[in-house]
Each structure stands twice: as C-alpha cells, then as structure tokens.
Structure 1
Amino acid sequence: MPRMPDLPVNHYRGRDGASLVYRDLGDGRPVVLIHGFFSTAYVNWIRYGHAKLLADSGFRVIMPDLRAHGGSDKTHDPQHYPRDVLADDAFGLIEQLGLTDYDLGGYSLGARTTVRMLVRGAQPGRAVVAGMGLGGITEVEKRNEFFARVFDGLGTHQRGSEEWRSEAFMHTTGGDPVPLRLVLETSVGATVDELAGITTPTLVVMGDDDRGHGSGAELADAMPLAKFVEVPGNHMSAVTDPALGIAMRDFLVR
C-alpha cells in the first residue's frame, strides 16, 4: 500500500500550558482520533489511509499527537505528567476548537484515553475504541507491565521478541523513552461499573490475532450501547489494514 503524505501541523495548548500539536483533514462532521503508545497521529491515522477514507466520507478528522509523542511536548519534568493527563489534553483540544457536536475514537492507548473521556463526561455522538479489550481498561497496571519490561531492557531484548519489536517501533517514530515512560505512568483505567454507565453508542474493534489487551467482545458487552467487530491482524498490524478504517467509517457514517 502506498504511504499517504503527512499533513500540516497545527498547535494548541494543554490545560497546563504544554505545547501540543494536531493534524486536521476534511470539512465535515468532526471526529477526534487519538493514536496509540509509541505512535503518532501520522502513523496511526494518516499513513495507511484511514483519515483520508473518513474525510472522503464526510468527516473532519482531527488527530492530536499525544503528549510525549510526535511533535507534542516531550519534557522530562515529572510535574507535567499527572494522572489522566492525556484525557485532559484531549478535552483541552475539544474546548479550544469549540467542538460541541463531534465523534471520538482512539487506538490502543488512545482507546483507553477515549474511555477515560467517556467516563469523565465527554458526550460525543459516537465513539470508537480500537485495539483495546476489557483487561486493557480494567487492569491498567497489569497491562503496562509489558512496557515496563521494554523500558527496563532497552538495547538488550532478544531479537524478534515482542519487547524487541516494541522497542524497534519506538525508535522508528523517534520516541524518547524518558517522557514516554512518564506518560505511561499517567494511565488510568475504568471499572466495570463505570463502563456500564457509558451510554454513548460505541464501536469496539480489534484485530483477530490481538491477544495482549484482553477481550474486545467482553469490553463491548460491558457497555450498554457497544458493538464488537473483528478485523484482520494483531495489535501492530491491524492498524495498518484498510479494514480498520472501513469498520470505523461504516460505524460513524449515519
């Protein structure tokens, strides 16, 4: 698949004043999409055509680079990494763009951030939770143990291991392990009771070989208005497959 070109970068401020960036494509209904850990808006949403597919289907696709990722602030100061700061940053973007009627979604860490926003009162028309299952939401510390191993063993992982592939991906996106570890430690999950209180129509979508973040079907079952769809691939490859963008488009198009 040919790679899509990148888009111009726009700047905004986090609620604490941090310098953050986002990309913007299309002129229709706003949908805010949040990328995964070690990744960027370009890698998750633009490179493989998902943003263009949504823009061509009538959406304005708004894609921030998470704090500690891409073109956004990568300070090493721990004071800039309070709990749940990624949800705060996304709320700040929505507020500064003046969005009142919009959709919301994310992949992996971006999906967890989406759930946090829903638990905290975000009211998008529809939501997409991609690359994340129930365990990845309700057992955050357990799921983050893998990344702790990645950071603890940088440069020493056995070639071909899952940890080695994760470290290699971090390097391909220009990731700095110091702020990345700090931002990982800001993660907050949700309880089953909190999930049951989410009344936004939600698509849970995962690769059929994605085994590391719990069950997508169980996550969908935990939310009253959620549906589950499988697409081809594992956690790394599903986001590169056109089937992910198609599933998102088919759910988001009214």
Structure 2
Amino acid sequence: MSRFKSFDGVEIYYQAWLRKSALPPVVLQHGYVANMRVNWVVPGIVRRLNLAGRSVIALDARGHGRSGRPHDPASYGESRMAKDISCLLDELGLEEIDLVGYSMGATVALLAATQERRIRRVVAGGIGGATLHLDSRYRASGRKALANAMLASRWSIRDPTLAGFRLLADMVWADRKAMAAQALAFHSKRIPLERITVPTLILVGDSDPFASHPQKLQRAIRGAQLKVVPGDHSSVLVKPGFQNAIVEFLR
C-alpha cells in the first residue's frame, strides 16, 4: 500500500506492478465513481500491460477508492487531478511516463498533457466531441443533477444515466458526498488541446454514448490517432480490441 500527500495535502493512494523494460512505466487514471481496481485491475488491463512487459502504476483519484475524500468541491476537478499525477511523478522520481486515462480520467490525461513535459504518449479513452464544449450551460445543469443524484434516495432517481452512476457508487462503496463534490467541480473550461504535442490516441467504443463524435476530438489534437472498437462505456474495458489498442499504441 503506497500513499503520498499531493500539492494541497490530499492523500493519494497508488499501486505499482513493475517489470524490467526499456520503455517508461504506464500510469493509469480511472473514471468517475470507479477506482483503479474497478477500471483497470478487474477488466485485466493491468495484467495485459504487464504481459507486454510494461511497468504499470495506477492511482485512485482524489475522492475515489482509497485516496483522501474531502467533501468540499474546491478540493476537486480534473485540473487538480492532473496536478496529482505530476506530484506522483515527483514522488517516484520518474522522468518519463506513458499516460492512459478513461472517461473522467481521459480529461485528466489531456489536461496533464498540456502542461506536463514528462509524458511521452497519451491514450484518452471513453470521451468524444463533447470534450470540446465543457463550458456549455447544459453541462453545468448536468453537473448539478449528478451531484443531487449522489445524495438523494436511489429510488427517487428517474433519469437512467444518473441512476446508473448512483448504482455504481453504491456497488463500489464510494463516498457519495465526495462524488457529489467532484460532480459539482467537473472541468468547465476549454482545454488548450493545441498545446498537446505528444502522440495521442483517442480510443472509444462504437456503442458508447459518452464518446460520440470522437473525430471532432481527434481533429482538435495535432496528429492524434482515433481507434473505434466494439463495446459501450462499460463493456469496452474488457474487450481484447480495446486492450490491444493501448498496448500497440504505447509500444
């Protein structure tokens, strides 16, 4: 069990699976409500990368899993999570990594890639064209509705998407007050994607409603590649096509 205190004192939990390799370690950042185990270990992605000879480091995002769980929205947002990644690299003395993020973690990965020079390659999974419009009023109302769903009675939630996130939160024993705080703090500013200069892969499932129009995101990042594989937002994680795409791109 490994932990460190990030830039603002929030404790971040991480785990490493090390292999001897000339290539840099792969850092994995999971999605909203999930944790490293749900997003990366159980689907077999950590094992797949290890079999390919890669060292892997996965962290629980602030508020998630075994990391610190403040309840103030001011402690959250993907920009802070991107800083957590930089603090992790400082903690471990790493000079270069490959970074893979999924869903919320993909936003974190893109933000990190705009400012962190120690990133060699980036995979952004489970997001699409909506990433270009994080500052829309529609998303602001959605953030509030999601926060409310985390705090309400599960049986009172009528929207199927909100009900799905709430069910996942209950299944993984998430701190729902922390989840509500992160929902209110979801990144709401334009990401300066033009600053990303490292090789980038946009990786989505063909039936993923959260990753529609991925071509728009691909075009916004110089030289980015796009890979569409079978699967929806949840099932794609266990698909060989998804896992192989990560391994091949990072090779």
> Superposition RMSD on alpha carbons, in Å?
2.1
Partner of 1:228: 226
SS at the partner of 1:125?
strand
Q: TM-score, normalised by structure 1?
A: 0.87
- Out of 200, 204, 222, the residue aligned to residue 202 of structure 1 is 200
Say whether 1:98 aligns with 2:107: no
Is 2:158 the partner of 1:158? yes
Letter in 1 for 2:124: V
What's 1:135 paired with?
Answer: 130
Following the alignment from structure 2 to structure 1, what is the Cα–Cα distance between the partners of residues 212 and 108? 16
| Counterparts in 2 of 1:46 and 1:144: CA distance versus 1, 3 Å | farther
Give the number of equivalent residue pairs: 243
Normalising by structure 2, report the TM-score. Answer: 0.88
- Any idea what SS the aligned residue of 1:126 has? strand
Residues 39, 122 of structure 1: alpha-carbon distance in 2 compared, 3 angstrom cutoff: farther
Query: Partner of 2:214 in structure 1?
Result: 216
Match of 1:10 in 2: 2
Following superposition, the deviation at residue 201 of structure 1 comes to: 0.2
Question: Counterpart of 1:186?
Answer: 185
Query: Cα deviation per residue 1:84-132 (whole Å; 9 max; x = unaligned)?
Result: 2111111111111111121111000000001111122344111100001
Question: Structure 1 pair 83/200, CA: closer, same or farther in 2 (3 Å)?
Answer: closer
Of 110, 119, 131, which aligns to 2:114?
119
**Secondary structure of 2:85's partner?**
helix
The aligned residue for residue 6 of structure 1 is none
Matching residue's letter, 1:157: I
Decide which moves more: 103-112 or 195-204. Answer: 195-204
Residue identity (%): 27
- Deviates most, 234-243 or 139-148: 139-148
Structure 1 residues not aligned, in runs of 5+? 1-8
Structure 1 pair 146/133, CA: closer, same or farther in 2 (3 Å)? Answer: same
Is residue 26 of structure 1 aligned with residue 6 of structure 2?
Answer: no
Where does residue 248 of structure 2 map in the other structure?
Answer: 250
* CA distance in structure 1 between the aligned counterparts of 2:184 and 2:147, rounded to whole angstroms: 12
Instruction: Give the 3-state SS of the residue equivalent to 1:73 in structure 2.
Output: coil
| Cα distance in 2, alignment partners of residues 134 and 189 from structure 1 | 15
- CA shift for structure 1 position 183: 2.3
For residues 219 and 243 of structure 1, the distance between their equivalents in structure 2, rounded to whole angstroms, comes to: 20
Look up the equivalent residue of 1:128 and give its one-letter code.
V
Give the conservation status (yes or no) of the 8 Å contact 1:106–1:129: yes
Gap change, CA 1:136 and 1:213, over 3 Å in 2: farther
Residues 61-96 of structure 1, C-alpha deviations (whole Å, 9 max, x = no match)? 110000000000012245533772111111111111
Aligned-partner residue type, residue 56 of structure 2: V
